Each structure stands twice: as C-alpha cells, then as structure tokens.
Amino acid sequence: MKATLHLHPALWALLLPVTVDRRVSDIWRSCIMQVNGHSSSDDINDDDELHHKSVQLIKFLNEWSGTGDTVPKRVEALYTALYERGYLEIADVELILLWLNELIQAGYKFPQIISKFTVAVRTYTGDLHKLNDRLLPSFGMFVDRAVTDILFVLDDESDADHKLGDCLKQNFSVTYEALPTQWKTLFHGTASTHPKYARIGYDRQQWSTFYMDKHVHSDYIGVIDSDGMLFSMMHPVHSMFSSDGRIMLKGILGDHNFNDKVALKADSEIDFMWVNRMPMWYRYETFQFVRNHISRIWNTSFDDAFAEFSKSLYSQFNIMSSYASKFEGKHYRVILNTDTNGAISVGSNGGVPTDIRIGCCRSFDIGCVGSDRNNDDHLLTYGTTAVNAVNRTVTTEAYYKNVYAYLKQVRPDALARMKETCDLYLKGQWKPLCTVDSIAKIKQ
C-alpha cells in the first residue's frame, strides 16, 4: 500500500495516463510531469519490452523542450508530442485537455513558468589558454549559476577534449558533439585568409552554432566565443531584454561578410558581429527556424547549403540575427550604434582587463580605481566605440540599481564566491581549475 501527499500547487500534475499499461501508469506520470526517475522502476523489469519503452520515454523527455508560456500550453504540447511518438494514445491527449480546462474553469492558479537561460561555449582543448585568460574567471564573477547554466560543447572524437570535459564538469555542464560523417565536404576553412579563421575547425565551430539547440534545452541560449569574456554582473533580464521585453540584437549598418546575404538569399544590411557584444542571445526555437528557412530557400538540406555559403566570408551570428530581426520581430529588437538610447551589454568578444575591473567595482565595489565608480561607458560600448546615447549616466545607473536589487536575492555563499573571484583575478591570484598539465593527468 502506497500513500503520497500532494500539495495544492501540484494538482495539475495528478492526472494518470489511461492508455498505457497500468503497471507503469503512475511511473510514467511521474516521468512526464517531473522528468524524474521512479523508485519503483523495478516493477517493470520483468517485461523487457515495457522496460525498454520506459527507458526510451525518459530519454525523449530529457531531450524535449517546451515552448508555451504557461503550464497548460506546455502540458498540451508535451502530451501531443508523446502521442505523435506513440507513447500515449489520443484519448490521453483529450483527457488532459479536459482536465486542464476544468482546472481553469474552477479558478485554479497554475504555477508560473520560470524561464531557463544557458550560456553556451563551443570550444576545444586548443583554446584552453583563451578560456583561462578571461572567460572562465569572468563566469565565476558575473553569473548567477542558480538561474543561468553554463555549457561547454566539445569535440566527441577527441580524447583531449574528453579529458578537458571531465575537468570542466566539476563546475560546469559539458556535452560532446560528434564529427559529422560528411565533414570533409562540409568544412573548408577557406572563408578567410587570416590564420585565425582559415581553419576547418573554425568552420566546424560556426556550423555548430546553428545546432546549439541540439545541446541546450533552455528557453534562451546565449552563445559566446572562447576568447570572449563577461565584464559586469549579468542580470538575467536587463542585460538581455529591451524595455519592451524583446531580446536585444546590437548591430551597426553595413555587413562586412559577403556570404551572409548569400546564405539568406537576401540583402544583409546590418552587422551584428562587428560590435563584438556577447553573449549573442536567441530563443531556443530560433535555431531550428533558421535551419528550416535556409533549407527551404536553398531547396536542399541545411548542411548542403552551409557547405556552399561557407566557402567565403560569413558570420553565423549575422545570419542568425538577420533572420531573427526579419522574421521574428515580435521577439527581437534591433538596436543600432546610432540609437540615442543605447543598449546594455555585459560581455564582449575579446576585451581588456580594465573592463572587468570596472565591472567588479560597479557590481561589488571591489577593485575600484579612480573614477571607476562613476564609469558610464563600459555597458554602452559597441566594439571599441562608445554609443552616442543620451542620458548615459541615467541608463547605467538604472542597470546597476537593478543589479543591486537582484544581488540581494542571490544566495550569500554564491555572492561571496563572485566577490572572491573578482578580488583574486584583479590581484593576479586567480588559479585556473583546468590546465594543460592537470588534464593530461586525467585517466579515461
């Protein structure tokens, strides 16, 4: 005999699926509504087929990501997906819709959907020195890990990358991407003559960005390069979204990469990469939409299209952002360097240690030098050029007012670690967790 206590906020999740084997009905409900293992999974070990299907269900649930902005919308989408994949029958979809509607009619208050954020880094062992230079310490200073996950995507075929991943897993999320079977025709390394970019691995990194949704299951994904950094506290709302709730896309007029317009088969009038503001934030759904759009206008697979447009200068971020601005305007807002209101940024591609010092000063009152406490430039800069924003001081002060209010909600131990990392980094005493020597000692 089993007894379970359910609180009122969990009422929406109590309906049992009726079109599955009764031995797993409660187990599957737990998995579906909580994406959670079940302590009684041994109950189905005597039925290999049923056990296999349960394992496949859990795998699917771990990979599934909802898009609705309310619990009823997400539950409906999930049950529909489960029906389409043969886990449930249509009767369960109809039943859950009736159940949700009854709760709504009764005035039941569903829990709020809390958005999930992930900063993703596509890298490899050869970039470890770049990671340790600025990016990794800046993650420790300016990211609230209770709200924002940090994911490193590494090469699956590389033993060295697996060792690096084992080390990074102590503090971050890690996944591995398999080398595409058609990589020899997919990656050319010919888009640029610059040694930094004229590499097959660089093409692979850019290609991977288009598929970041395959590795990240968050509502919002921010991509940042290995040689990037954060330089101030990353507020999970005000550093990403404009005042009207749309994701900020920061750009300048004129695209420096000819094949951006080739990829989209349309004029690309704005360069979003040239401003060097990172992370580049996108909705989870946008990655799939971009691939589908390119596949449709090229009348071939996305990979076949990529193999062609990647032969000359292109930027994956320009392509992603151009698509988002043209076709998903209700979710994205373009803010040019000529905009008199400016746009807040807390990270960059490259950057200088001075920016981190100012960020530590303004965020935590640590390491302040001279006029750092009054600096109103570092948040409103595009590339190396200050935006001609009016009321610069007002905009900057408003951002940090939100930061200070947010920091009061951060766990004291997490806040203490952020401050300590700032202090150690500014004193030149920050020690990297993963080094060439330390990962060489890791046994696979």
Tens of pLDDT along 357-404?
999 999 999 999 999 998 888 898 877 555 666 778 888 999 999 999
Residue bearing the bigger pLDDT, 45 or 280: 280
Which tens digit of pLDDT belongs to each residue from 130-168? 999 999 999 999 999 999 999 999 999 999 999 999 999
Helix%, strand%, coil% for the chain, nearest 5: 45, 10, 40
pLDDT at 258 over 80: no
Q: If pLDDT is split at 50, 70 and 90, which confidence band does 315 have?
A: very high
The predicted structure's pLDDT at residue 140:
98
Proportion of the chain above pLDDT 90, given as a percent? 59
- Residues 6+ positions from 122 with CB-CB distance below 8 Å: 153, 177, 205, 208, 209, 212, 223, 226
> Of 7-16, 157-166, 212-221, which range is least confident?
7-16
Task: Report the C-alpha gap between 116 and 417 in whole angstroms.
Answer: 22
The predicted structure's pLDDT at residue 5:
62
Proportion of the chain above pLDDT 70, given as a percent? 91
> Of 22-31, 71-80, 363-372, 422-431, which range is least confident?
22-31
Written as six digits, the tokens of 364 are 């935590």
Name the β-bridge partners of 251. Answer: 336
Residue bearing the bigger pLDDT, 68 or 362: 362
pLDDT at 40 over 70: no
The predicted structure's pLDDT at residue 269:
84
Triad 311, 263, 249: Cα angle to 5° = 115
User: Burial, 3: exposed, middle or buried (Cβ in 10 Å; 0-12, 13-18, 19+)?
Assistant: exposed
**177 close to 212: Cβ distance less than 8 angstroms:** no
The predicted structure's pLDDT at residue 69:
75
The predicted structure's pLDDT at residue 47:
56
Mean pLDDT of the 179-187 span? 94
The predicted structure's pLDDT at residue 440:
82
The predicted structure's pLDDT at residue 387:
60
The predicted structure's pLDDT at residue 63:
72
Scanning 310-444, the segments in alpha helix (DSSP H) are 316-327, 353-364, 392-407, 412-426, 436-440
Mean pLDDT of the 420-424 span? 98
The predicted structure's pLDDT at residue 37:
40
Q: If pLDDT is split at 50, 70 and 90, which confidence band does 444 have?
A: low
Backbone angles phi, psi at 123, to 5 degrees: -150, -175
Mean pLDDT of the 83-96 span? 91
Give the residue extent of every domain in the chain: 8-105, 117-426
The predicted structure's pLDDT at residue 333:
96
User: Burial, 289: exposed, middle or buried (Cβ in 10 Å; 0-12, 13-18, 19+)?
Assistant: middle
Mean pLDDT of the 241-269 span? 88
Mean pLDDT of the 175-200 span? 84
Cα separations in angstroms, 48 against 29, 39, 43, 52, 54: 20, 18, 11, 6, 10
114 DSSP assignment: P
